[in-house]
Amino acid sequence: MTGRRGAGDGGVRLRPDGRWEATVEIGALGGRRRRKYVYGRTRADVVANLRSAQANVDAGLPLIDERTRLGTFLDLWLEEVVRPTRQQATFHGYEANVRLHIKPVLGHVPLARLSPPDVQAFLNLKRQEGLAPRTVQYVHATLRRALTIALRWGYVSRNVATLVEPVTLQREPVVPLTVEEARRLLEAAARDRLGAFYAVAVAVGLRPSEALGLRWEDLDLDAGVLRVRHALERRDGQFVLKEPKSRTSRRTVALPSVCLDALRVHRRRQLEERLLAGPLWEDRDLVFATPTGGPISRTVVSHRFARLQKEAGVPHHRLYDCRHTAASLLLAQNVHPRVVMEVLGHSSFALTMDTYSHVMPVLVRDAAEAMDKILRGASDAGEQ
């Protein structure tokens, strides 16, 4: 089949291989007009890709041609898409994946000729090199997101990174502290200058970065609430407060008395430290800070946590297991999973249910017993 062209639509036509094709003018070179071909599976797809490509030309963005290599496009994607629209930490992560992993292996391949076997062989190579499965998955996600933009801009007719077998991860088992372990840990933490940090981590399940990013203006101890507005991260050797992980991560959490008591003690201790520090005090309003008011790294808190566990006679857990402990204890007390989702700031109900599925059998059994009690009660009442 030859093809059908439409007026003013960049010469949209149907190719013999079943794909739709169109052209966009990308300027002149040496007196000759230059064109870029864009593709799509349907006529509507190629028209949309044509308009997107034309918009990029109008915006002064360089267009990709058939000979442009994947590495060149990835550099363009990082600078024109990722850097202006994503957090700096996200940009650095993508840039490292491109520079260290993708470009050395696939950077020379023409973008338009990149195939699913190319991507599959690349992922297999990374596995064979001993790269952690989670890292391979992240590298794959980086390439997939970049090619999504290439598809949207009409540079390729399909996203080949979505057509390969993804890396499967074995989810690490959630190992929360038991009720008794949590009590012993908090008793030992009460003697530590950061004891309130662990009380907040265990009782309301803040992410470590969220707890370290807390400011006193985020707390209302009289009302007994805490507002998660920032997270602390280390970026280029400097501590910065960034927006929380997702929209649902911005939340208001009611504080149990165990947290309120610990925070009030912590507040008094910090005021004393401020007086001792004098002009050396860094006025950042951080709840959990160094003795001079500066930010604390997660590594320091993790090391102190390991020491506290030894003092309390508690088996070793990761710092993040405090968050799992909060969720597991709430679910075990029959708090509705949707409420737990909101306390933790999860992005979806499914994430909460999947992460803490180990607690669900207990809840299911409780629900069955409750139903049995209702139905047996109704039956007994009818017999009287």
pLDDT of residue 44: 87
Q: Which amino acid is at 179?
A: V
pTM of the full structure: 0.62
The whole-number average pLDDT for the span 147-158 is: 86
The whole-number average pLDDT for the span 44-49 is: 84
pLDDT exceeding 90 applies to what percent of the chain?
49
Query: What's the distance, CA 194 to chain centroid?
Result: 27
Q: What is the 3-state secondary structure (H, E, C) of 300-369?
A: HHHHHHHHHHHHHCCCCCCCCHHHHHHHHHHHHCCCCHHHHHHHHCCCCHHHHHHHCCCCHHHHHHHHHH
pLDDT of residue 16: 84
Q: Tell me the per-residue pLDDT of 250-276, one tens digit each, with 9 for 90 and over.
A: 999 999 999 999 999 999 999 999 999
Superfamily of domain 70-170: Tyrosine recombinase, N-terminal domain (1.10.150.130)
| 203 pLDDT above the threshold of 80 | yes
The whole-number average pLDDT for the span 183-206 is: 93
Residue 356: which of 314, 315, 326, 319 has the closest Cα? 326
pLDDT of residue 336: 82
Cα separation, 173 vs 19, in Å, equals: 46
Coil/strand/helix, residue 208: helix
The whole-number average pLDDT for the span 19-48 is: 72
Per-residue pLDDT band at 243 (split at 50, 70, 90): confident
The whole-number average pLDDT for the span 98-120 is: 94
| 360 pLDDT above the threshold of 70 | no
| 212 pLDDT above the threshold of 90 | yes
The whole-number average pLDDT for the span 132-137 is: 89
* Residue recorded with tokens 């201790």: 269
| 12 pLDDT above the threshold of 60 | yes
CA angle 352, 355, 360 (to 5 degrees): 80
Contact 317, 333 (CB under 8 A): no
| 376 pLDDT above the threshold of 70 | yes
HSE-CB of 353 using CA atoms within 13 angstroms: 7
Contact 235, 88 (CB under 8 A): yes
Q: What is the 3-state secondary structure (H, E, C) of 272-286?
A: HHHHHHHHHCCCCCE
User: Cα-flanking dihedrals φ and ψ of residue 125, to 5°?
Assistant: -60, -40
The domain segmentation of the chain, as residue ranges, is 1-63, 70-170, 179-351
| Burial grade of 261 (CB within 10 A; 0-12, 13-18, 19 or more) | middle
* Residue recorded with tokens 């959990």: 288
Superfamily of domain 179-351: Intergrase catalytic core (1.10.443.10)
Cα separation, 70 vs 40, in Å, equals: 19
Most confident listed range (10-24, 233-247, 287-301, 316-330): 287-301
Which of 85-94, 121-130, 318-327, 359-368 is predicted least confidently?
359-368
Per-residue pLDDT band at 157 (split at 50, 70, 90): confident
- The dihedral over CA atoms of 357, 231, 233, 341, expressed in degrees to the nearest 10, equals 10
pLDDT of residue 32: 54
Contact 273, 291 (CB under 8 A): yes
Cα R_g (the chain), whole angstroms: 28
Which of 95-104, 138-147, 341-350, 355-364 is predicted least confidently?
355-364
pLDDT of residue 382: 47
| 2 pLDDT above the threshold of 80 | no
Contact 344, 323 (CB under 8 A): yes
pLDDT of residue 60: 66
